[in-house]
Structure 1
Amino acid sequence: MDAPTLELKSALASLFECGKYSDLTIVCGAKRYPVHRVLLATRSTFFDGACRNGFQEAETGIIDLSEDDAEAVEHMVQYFYHLDYLNKKPLSRRSSQRSNRSSSPLSPRFARRTAPRKLNFALVEDPLLALVAAANISMPMTPPPDVHMFHNLDASTKMPDSPMADQFEDDDLESVLSEPDMDMDKAHLVTHAKVYAIAEKYGIAGLKTLARNKFAEQIDLHLSSAEFPEACEEVYETTFHTDRGLRNIIIQTFRANPSLSLRPDVEMTIRETPGLAFELFRMASGLPVSS
């Protein structure tokens, strides 16, 4: 992750962490999420409509989603500010501050740089990212003339009794950059199915694509888990038959693994899920699954 992207993601995360400038509240049961209209309305067709004048939510500043799955709502809110969900270590305001300090002209990390880094703007899709990247390019990337004064300090001055704060900051920043996604540790198939459904319901295209990709990545890794049949049932009960995002993944999985149907838990799910049973029947008969 490059510095401009990290800076932007850290800034978004800090907005949610501190709740600063929030002008809308999502309520789901006992949980309340202070959020920002501009972030939600520009990325969700539902929240765009809810934030317009004339709607009750726009007047009260409260959107009640208590009828939705609480876990899915939490991940949806997390996505708005972290561009992801189910992260092991989401970016925070503290990581943003570390990022800013690490690029200070007087920091050791900055002094080691010898040439400006060129960014490939063809890969920058978000206009906000482009602006941040342009600002980053315009910053001076060589040490100031008086940096050599630090080399004249004796050893006792340069070596404090405790480790330098920047050492901790650099280590923490690198851990943020390289922290693995906890998705692969255990099965989250049902969770991804729930997030996919809520993304479809509220018109959040980016979240829907993300949930589909996570579901596809995990289904092969956790094919033998007890969560697989539960996820199949969740998908066929929460999506329309015309929405093939997750359904096609499940059908392709059965096609590639015929022995799945012999598992007692999978067989029970097929018996209790008419939509899945019908599509598997069409697949076995050599007929097109979707019309």
Structure 2
Amino acid sequence: LYRLFIDPKYADLTVTCGTDVYRLHKSVVCPRSDFFAKACEGNFKEGRDSVIHLDDDDGLAVRLMVYFFYHLDYPQISLYGRDGNCDDGVPRQRINVFESGRDEESTKNLIEQEDLSQVPGESTSESPDPTPTTRNGQRKAKMRAESPPTPYDQIHALVAEDEFPHEVPSEMFEIYHSPNLIIHTKVYQLASAYFVKGLDKLACNKFERELDIHWNSSDFAEAVMLAYASTEMRDTGLRNPIIRTLYSHPELLDKSEVQDIIFKNRDLSYGLI
């Protein structure tokens, strides 16, 4: 599936969101989403033209949904660049999930050496042959010998090899773990709107894990407001973790922005009783 993700050669479905255009595969997307499956039926204009427009949706959330179709996961987005400046971290080129010191050719070399017999996300127990047999392998070995890989490059390599872990090792943690609470909320919203199987639970799990870390971040209040505005009362996937966080950290109730949300949102007020 990873090769299909980076190579649109056999794509038969176009999805647009603003200026972003994705060339996708119905055989991959439709089984994962009831919305896309029905839209691609011949009775609809989208099915006849094989073009679906998602222009009213959040661009970053759509990109992560597209990534999920081919990986059953989506990466943590770094909101700050390597130099500390603000960066939306959006993977605008599908091959470059994260910005990195590696150029595109180096990334392709990593992908080409991937064992396609492995299921994406699984690692093999056999150690690869350390002897490089190609010019690309020699260049890669030389690069590793001259400079030990940084945690930043290790994450990029894992993504390139379709082995991005659900839990990032601790030494990689600080680099990418900027708050993604709002992002996870928007992904959850898309998953619900387009009936993407598994994406809602994945976004919910990521959201809940991040609440344990970034409960005191500036993103918290906005994420709470968005979560309650975009879900119904019976949809507790995001709401229950928020209630638990407010109980675990009552000091949040002293913040004016949190008080304002509670005052305006009857469902949240009721949940705290």
- Scaled by the length of structure 1, what TM-score is found? 0.66
The amino acid that maps onto 2:270 is F
1:221 pairs with 2:174: no
Distance 1:226 1:15 in 2: 38
Distance (whole Å) between structure 1 residues aligned to residue 250 and residue 226 of structure 2: 21
**Pairing 1:85–2:59 present:** no
Alignment of 1:165 with 2:139, yes or no, is yes
- Larger Rg, first or second structure (1 or 2): 1
Partner residue of 1:186 out of 178, 183, 200? 178
- SS of residue in 1 equivalent to 2:52: strand
More deviation in 219-228 or 253-262?
253-262
Corresponding residue for residue 11 of structure 2: 22
Do 1:28 and 1:66's aligned partners in 2 also have CA atoms closer than 8 Å? yes
1:82 touches 1:90 (CA, 8 Å); kept in 2? no
Contact 1:196-1:212 at 8 Å conserved across structures: yes
- The answer on whether the counterparts of 2:35 and 2:195 sit within 8 Å (CA) in structure 1 is yes
Inter-partner Cα distance in structure 1 for 2:13 and 2:2? 16
Gapped runs of 5+ residues in structure 1?
1-11, 104-127, 144-149, 151-157, 284-291
TM superposition shift of 1:66: 0.8
Residues 7-46 of structure 1 mapped to structure 2, 5 A cutoff:
12-46=1-35
- Within a 5 Å distance, the mapping from 1:1-291 to structure 2 comes to 12-87=1-76, 90=97, 93-100=108-115, 129=119, 164-165=138-139, 167=141, 175-176=157-158, 180=168, 185-280=177-272, 283=273
Change (3 A) 1:97 1:173: farther
Percent identity between the aligned chains? 33
CA RMSD of aligned residues (A): 3.6
Distance (Å, rounded) in 1 between the aligned partners of 2:5 and 2:164 = 22
| Contact preservation (8 Å) 1:17, 1:93 | no
- Is 1:195–1:211's contact at 8 Å kept on the other side of the alignment? yes
Unaligned runs of 5+ in 2: 78-95, 99-106
Residues 221 and 257 of structure 2 are in contact (CA less than 8 Å); yes or no, is this contact kept in structure 1? yes
State the one-letter code of the partner of 2:221.
Answer: P
**Preserved contact between residue 13 and residue 93 of structure 1 (Cα < 8 Å):** no
C-alpha distance in 2 between matches for 1:168 and 1:272: 60
Contact between 2:30 and 2:36, CA under 8 Å: does it hold in 1?
A: yes
- Name the aligned partner's letter for residue 112 of structure 2: Q
Which is helix-richer, 1 or 2? 1
Query: Residue 24 of structure 1 contacts residue 62 of structure 1 at CA under 8 Å; is this kept in 2?
Result: yes
Deviation at residue 13 of structure 1 after TM alignment: 2.8
The CA distance in 2 between the partners of 1:45 and 1:80, in whole Å, is 13
Give the C-alpha shift of residue 90 in structure 1: 4.3
Aligned-pair CA distance for 1:279: 2.2
Structure 2 CA distance for aligned equivalents of residues 234 and 52 of structure 1: 32
Deviations 1:83-116 (A, max 9, x none): 2223467496543312249x9xxxxxxxxxxxxx
State the alpha-carbon separation in 1 of the partners of residues 22 and 194 from structure 2: 16
Deviation at 1:271, TM superposition (A): 2.2
1:94 and 1:173 mapped to 2: Cα distance?
15
TM-score if structure 2 supplies the norm length? 0.70
SS of the residue corresponding to residue 53 of structure 1 reads coil
**How many Å separate the matches in 1 of 2:54 and 2:265?**
27
Q: Alpha-carbon deviations, 1:189-214, whole Å to 9, x = none?
A: 01101100110111112111110110
Q: Secondary structure at the match of 2:14?
A: strand
Paired positions, count:
223
What is the letter of the counterpart of residue 209 of structure 1?
A: K
SS of equivalent residue, structure 2 residue 263? helix
